[in-house]
Structure 1
């Protein structure tokens, strides 16, 4: 569409100007700034560093550094400080990755605005709107800036954001005047953040960003903090419990050391070391990094995450309710058949549409908006525009869809008088045209034949209205005559049948919802592989069922036809009443309640309204069902990886705590000091943030049932599994410790051998928790971490200066071989058992 007057049939009465030119818009953008409200500034490097240093582990490390200075051991204090700086750097890098991922998601989810630039209608980032821009507003749009109406058709705006009034405010244009310019609010203005409930308009932007009405109120609307998710609260509780236990152990060990060995400074160092070993600061880091980067990876799968906690729910979905048109099908309509007064045309005949169908097509065109976005209307415009002639036509009245009447009407003024057309569901058009029972039966029989071939069918009615008579308030008071039927072919999307089969294998019931005729729904469902079962349930039959009956029906019905947004909401509630975890797709304004009611609301990114996208937790950037299934696969993988990381964190802290405490209880030489804990953190942190986050999906990720959403992640099974894994490593390390002492190795040699066992066991626990496909799943991060760890460990044993800092002395070759081999040998039975298991432990923990 290359000129603004082409929009006239949709919303306007007179030719329109073409908006700003691009160069002028860029100048105004540079002058006024972006069209965005003030938001909380991104934290600077100093603030982020300070936040990291306030974490309990770093406070404890700071205390240890201070104790070394009190002892006069400047070298130990400097080394510990340098090591802490490295760990802080890694932590800041992880936080930076999370923030960059979230920034990328915010950029993807930035609202778009339809605007006239250089005479063309284009969609741009709403942040680039400037004063003077002409925006196009339609039903379901969120107003992107304060603007003065230029032209409007039956425009109603929900201004509850500003006024608190629930009912839509009617809007229209009025002549400019000094009084109107001075008024603070006017009926011919629309305001940023308000919602177009019905109608269409062109409006000129008069204020952007902080200069809008919402911007003047304040930025609090943009700074609402969402509640923490179930998993976040669970992790918060776990960290508090472990931290409290760590402080208790710290006090106990300090007292025990002082009583048994004397020396309060050394006692404090031993206590602090054990406390550091016990604080699981990796838990919140894992959750933050995994969910943020997981949302970024989902966006690469064409699924935009608007609410990060929704990722936790993806793996628990049991029912997936999807629209047919545009989600299962391509939403790329073409006219496939026409029926009119006994005449028939089918695209399969291979001949052009004959002139006898001109009136039907022109009437269908009258029922369409000019410059339409609906694919059916586009197909009609393409076929009918050459037949419509050049006569002048002005839109007088539009009658939208009504509850219980699936039809819409447009009335036009032409030189010959008032003419119009209605289009919609055949049964609705039959009612509007007041067809005799026999003719109605004949029409619906034709519809059924076309629908059984998977075609989407609408009926068209024609209107001639006397100029002398006023138009009624309702379209069913007009006098229509039957014009005919238009049938559209909308092919199934590539890959849908395979995606439905994958979802079914994953224990997810796919339910198809459509406003189409039942026969069309049945045909498409069979092509997609959706269980038709007892056939589709029509919306009229659904309406008469009570909630209990509907819940019972949902147990075995998978196809619903002729449904409305109200039906969608009832279906979601009925399914959830049965204990299902429901994902629901939607695109319209009226779909918002169902999207909010679902456990995971999924809005259409291309054809969806702003309201639907705001109500949903996820947005499909390509409106494709295949992307939903890929998103579920990704969500399950993210959850699996969180569980793997959590189990590893629990396991790895057991031998560290054990070997910090065991020497105190046995009277042997201490193995772990703060410098050693920091070294181990340099292995643990990358393992969590890099290795497990990048772990590919398990082979059975889409062959197991959905997880129970009520089962806590840090449940008894995970805790027991992690503690048992760690206890095995503790036993191996303790055996190495005892063997080295029995062979009368020097204290530094005992410490070195035991530390080698701890580090090797740490890497072994990473491998164990990666899952059964260690050698088959590509994850370069694991091998990088393993190689880096081995290199640094070898340096601490081979370089005397580094060995001195770690208080190490190279043990005998036999003891060293035992330290390197025993932890891995101890894990072999566990690895074999998990490989043979039907499903990975991580997936069910």
Structure 2
């Protein structure tokens, strides 16, 4: 039965263009915020910008126009850097939005085409089927047992039956097809749809912040409060020493500026958005930003079999007819019974097949029959796939009143609705066991002579005759063995959750060296377990067969209850609840239904599971680099804060060694370092041989924070030592300030290089491919040299000319105050090597990650 039998030709290309010119694109367009203006407003609220504005104003009021002008210039530079990062993030997110635009099927010029839903026009003939999201409002012109879930509009989760003959023959954008198939003539698109008219309220819904984002915000707020308190204390101390209001205010602002870690939230947002963009380039669409931070923590991957582990290229491979007493190959000379089996199985398939098994049945039917009877029959009634185990039934009639009632589904389901003797059942079960043990996927086929127009409520009430078994072969993907090895090496357990039977799944699992293929649990067995029993079972078992939605959801819930971070792949309507429940729901881009894509947080564009290895690697890389960036920020802020505060608090000779101009210069050095250099760092070679990090891990407690604090304190010791050395050498304030500044700049450069890895030595990380390292460090060294050796700039910053001995003394102190951490890394590697298990071949570091 082809599309032209519905007497629907669809629009011509010319009509499509005319409709698009008249009604526009099928997109929801509302008054958009001015993103640049919003970014500027957000920037104006930043504490650092406010402090700089206040400091520059004080300089101007005090008559120090040079310093005031410098701070205004600094405000412009900081703003440009922030706007650049914001632009990178927004551009990355905008590109992601275009990829999450769903596709739809339309009939145009008599042909079935797949297009982007935004290209849909008024008058188009839209084909919608089970599992798809309806892309625009329209009127049904043809349907088969068609029902829709309209909860997005009505809040009512029950499906609604619709038909062109019924009063309710309209469908609406955003609703999803629960069952059947329909062809719809589009009446409204974009803002004119029912969903479009209420879209403003939907757009106002904001995504909740992730735990890590909340931790970062909390950390920054605490430091802002601390900065405010210290600001008041320092202002008071300076004021009671000098009774100069403006001068004491400037010195207090200097310390407050040194405390604010405004780079932290900037780095977080940049890493997440750009990470999602990098994943997109690899064929992985990230729908939710929080997924990027979760990827590196995944401990379990639950995957379906068909199309994920296997090719999803079904070919009819075996036939069994009870009367024939043998298992046949479709390529052999077939008996009349075997030909009839294929014909009945075809009629039990969708008229417009999209499932690979149904496509194979239609193709085989065409090869075997010179006369195509599909032209003469129309579907009179349809029972969609349901039941446990599932089956489906189609009822066709032709103009002469001849009826075909055909069913297919799990062999157990068909055997239950057919009147079989004990011997017949045993014979069929033996044939199934023989076929499935070779890795074939089987369907039972039944036919009925049901008459009358009063169809039973359920298909299971119809009496059927068992026609036989059709078996399909779906070979494993060629790269699946390597993919599994990579997951195992990364410490990620893999579990197969499939609707197929145990024998077929076990046979495929054995072929691909799947761990734990020896035992499996069926959906029915699983549902009988208590919650406590299930928690233990899901850990011990890796193959789950004959699964249905409730069983899948119980598995995901039980794994989460055991503290696992669960990633799950899925493509069908039935996978929706489990995909949504998983920490990382992964939908297939090609064979995935729109319901699956809506429920998922990731979409694999090419349906390639190896991309999940890449995604996990990227997630781990992003997290590791973000951790490096934040640890760097904390480590370098500590010496700046203490170098400003301690001389003042202890009443040293030069109590105010730095002014706002010095602090803002150091801030300008740190910003690009943390958000540009570290974001561009490649993945370390041991990343995918480590265990997944616990999801509860943060940057702000335990080992990481201690490491950063110690690094910062030792750099502080270096700066204060050079301070005291300068006093001992009877240097004046300008030269002392210069020496301290050189130590800080040198320490910043060496800290950047040392902290590229907390495991591998600096000699190893120097070989990492990151061209931005030389660029940013080169710029830093060049500008610092200008400040030290160009008299005009030297005088402006309150520095003094240094000789070679003084210069290299400052650089040497900065080097020593950082390089000691290499000794810690040597010890870490020794401990790691003695405790490390023997792994297989390491995961190759991808060019995209480098």
Determine the C-alpha separation between the residues in 2 that align with 1:797 and 1:395: 86
> Who is 2:798 aligned against?
807
Q: Identify which of 149, 165, 169 aligns with 1:188.
A: 169
1:325-348 superposed Cα distances (whole Å, 9 cap, x missing partner): 11111111122222232343347x
1:328-477 mapped onto 2 (5 Å cutoff): 328-340=309-321, 341-346=324-329, 357-388=338-369, 389-391=371-373, 392-414=376-398, 415=400, 417-466=402-451, 468=452, 470-477=454-461
Q: What is the aligned-residue RMSD (CA, Å)?
A: 2.2
The answer for unaligned runs of 5 or more in structure 1 is: 9-13, 176-185
Structure 1 residue 289: deviation in Å?
0.7
1:614-629 mapped onto 2 (5 Å cutoff): 614-629=598-613
Q: Identify which of 1, 7, 13 aligns with 2:3.
A: 7
Determine the C-alpha separation between the residues in 1 that align with 2:614 and 2:329: 37
> Who is 2:131 aligned against?
140
> Who is 2:728 aligned against?
742
Query: Does the 8 Å CA contact 1:700/1:839 hold for their aligned counterparts?
Result: no
The answer for unaligned runs of 5 or more in structure 2 is: 833-850
Structure 1 residue 275: deviation in Å?
0.6
1:496-521 superposed Cα distances (whole Å, 9 cap, x missing partner): 22222222222221111111121111
Query: Does the 8 Å CA contact 1:603/1:613 hold for their aligned counterparts?
Result: yes
> Who is 2:63 aligned against?
72
Query: Does the 8 Å CA contact 2:150/2:156 hold for their aligned counterparts?
Result: yes
> Who is 2:88 aligned against?
97
> Who is 2:488 aligned against?
504
Structure 1 residue 86: deviation in Å?
1.1
1:296-330 superposed Cα distances (whole Å, 9 cap, x missing partner): 11222322211111222222222211101111111
> Who is 2:521 aligned against?
537
Query: Does the 8 Å CA contact 1:648/1:765 hold for their aligned counterparts?
Result: yes
Q: Identify which of 665, 670, 693 aligns with 1:679.
A: 665
1:706-745 mapped onto 2 (5 Å cutoff): 706-745=692-731
Q: How many residues align?
A: 819
Determine the C-alpha separation between the residues in 1 that align with 2:535 and 2:282: 33
SS at 2:755 equivalent: helix
Query: Does the 8 Å CA contact 2:509/2:517 hold for their aligned counterparts?
Result: no
Query: Does the 8 Å CA contact 2:345/2:408 hold for their aligned counterparts?
Result: yes
Query: Does the 8 Å CA contact 2:43/2:79 hold for their aligned counterparts?
Result: yes
> Who is 1:181 aligned against?
none
1:48 and 2:39 matched: yes
Structure 1 residue 27: deviation in Å?
3.2
Structure 1 residue 490: deviation in Å?
1.3
Query: Does the 8 Å CA contact 1:740/1:815 hold for their aligned counterparts?
Result: no
**Structure 2 CA distance for partners of 1:404 and 1:47, relative to 1, 3 Å:** closer
> Who is 1:639 aligned against?
623
Query: Does the 8 Å CA contact 2:297/2:693 hold for their aligned counterparts?
Result: yes
Name whichever of 200-209 and 439-448 sits farther off. 439-448
Determine the C-alpha separation between the residues in 2 that align with 1:237 and 1:69: 35
> Who is 2:846 aligned against?
none
Structure 1 residue 567: deviation in Å?
0.8
1:396-418 superposed Cα distances (whole Å, 9 cap, x missing partner): 12112222142111121134711
Name whichever of 50-59 and 734-743 sits farther off. 734-743
1:214 and 2:195 matched: yes
> Who is 2:634 aligned against?
650
SS at 2:2 equivalent: helix
Query: Does the 8 Å CA contact 1:37/1:222 hold for their aligned counterparts?
Result: no
Determine the C-alpha separation between the residues in 2 that align with 1:304 and 1:840: 38
> Who is 1:180 aligned against?
none
Structure 1 residue 534: deviation in Å?
5.0
Query: Does the 8 Å CA contact 1:145/1:209 hold for their aligned counterparts?
Result: yes
Name whichever of 521-530 and 372-381 sits farther off. 521-530
Determine the C-alpha separation between the residues in 2 that align with 1:372 and 1:469: 26
Name whichever of 388-397 and 661-670 sits farther off. 661-670
**Structure 2 CA distance for partners of 1:479 and 1:649, relative to 1, 3 Å:** same
1:83-104 superposed Cα distances (whole Å, 9 cap, x missing partner): 2211210110000000001111
Determine the C-alpha separation between the residues in 2 that align with 1:786 and 1:156: 62
Structure 1 residue 840: deviation in Å?
11
Name whichever of 96-105 and 625-634 sits farther off. 625-634
> Who is 2:544 aligned against?
560
Q: Identify which of 477, 496, 501 aligns with 1:493.
A: 477
Q: Identify which of 752, 769, 779 aligns with 1:766.
A: 752
Determine the C-alpha separation between the residues in 2 that align with 1:536 and 1:554: 10
Determine the C-alpha separation between the residues in 1 that align with 2:333 and 2:727: 95
Q: Identify which of 324, 327, 340 aligns with 2:308.
A: 327
Structure 1 residue 635: deviation in Å?
1.1
> Who is 1:256 aligned against?
237
Query: Does the 8 Å CA contact 1:670/1:751 hold for their aligned counterparts?
Result: no
TM-score, normalised with respect to structure 2: 0.92
1:339-373 superposed Cα distances (whole Å, 9 cap, x missing partner): 232343347xx867677632222222111113311
Determine the C-alpha separation between the residues in 2 that align with 1:218 and 1:461: 47
> Who is 2:185 aligned against?
204
Determine the C-alpha separation between the residues in 1 that align with 2:737 and 2:453: 101
SS at 2:697 equivalent: coil
> Who is 1:178 aligned against?
none
> Who is 2:29 aligned against?
38
**Structure 2 CA distance for partners of 1:102 and 1:218, relative to 1, 3 Å:** closer
SS at 1:399 equivalent: strand
**Structure 2 CA distance for partners of 1:587 and 1:728, relative to 1, 3 Å:** same
> Who is 1:183 aligned against?
none
SS at 2:539 equivalent: coil
> Who is 1:182 aligned against?
none
Query: Does the 8 Å CA contact 1:757/1:819 hold for their aligned counterparts?
Result: yes
**Structure 2 CA distance for partners of 1:134 and 1:533, relative to 1, 3 Å:** closer
Structure 1 residue 205: deviation in Å?
1.0
> Who is 1:592 aligned against?
576
**Structure 2 CA distance for partners of 1:23 and 1:735, relative to 1, 3 Å:** farther
Query: Does the 8 Å CA contact 2:235/2:248 hold for their aligned counterparts?
Result: yes
1:705 and 2:671 matched: no
Determine the C-alpha separation between the residues in 1 that align with 2:333 and 2:283: 39
Query: Does the 8 Å CA contact 1:155/1:171 hold for their aligned counterparts?
Result: yes
Determine the C-alpha separation between the residues in 2 that align with 1:603 and 1:713: 31
Determine the C-alpha separation between the residues in 1 that align with 2:162 and 2:363: 32
Q: Identify which of 270, 275, 290 aligns with 1:289.
A: 270
> Who is 2:841 aligned against?
none
Structure 1 residue 538: deviation in Å?
1.6
Query: Does the 8 Å CA contact 2:6/2:142 hold for their aligned counterparts?
Result: no
Determine the C-alpha separation between the residues in 2 that align with 1:689 and 1:60: 22
Structure 1 residue 23: deviation in Å?
3.4
Structure 1 residue 725: deviation in Å?
0.8
1:34-78 superposed Cα distances (whole Å, 9 cap, x missing partner): 222234624342332232122000100111100110111112211
Structure 1 residue 218: deviation in Å?
4.5
**Structure 2 CA distance for partners of 1:839 and 1:450, relative to 1, 3 Å:** farther
Determine the C-alpha separation between the residues in 1 that align with 2:602 and 2:780: 39
> Who is 1:821 aligned against?
812
Determine the C-alpha separation between the residues in 2 that align with 1:522 and 1:251: 70
Query: Does the 8 Å CA contact 1:157/1:169 hold for their aligned counterparts?
Result: yes
Name whichever of 296-305 and 128-137 sits farther off. 296-305
> Who is 1:667 aligned against?
653
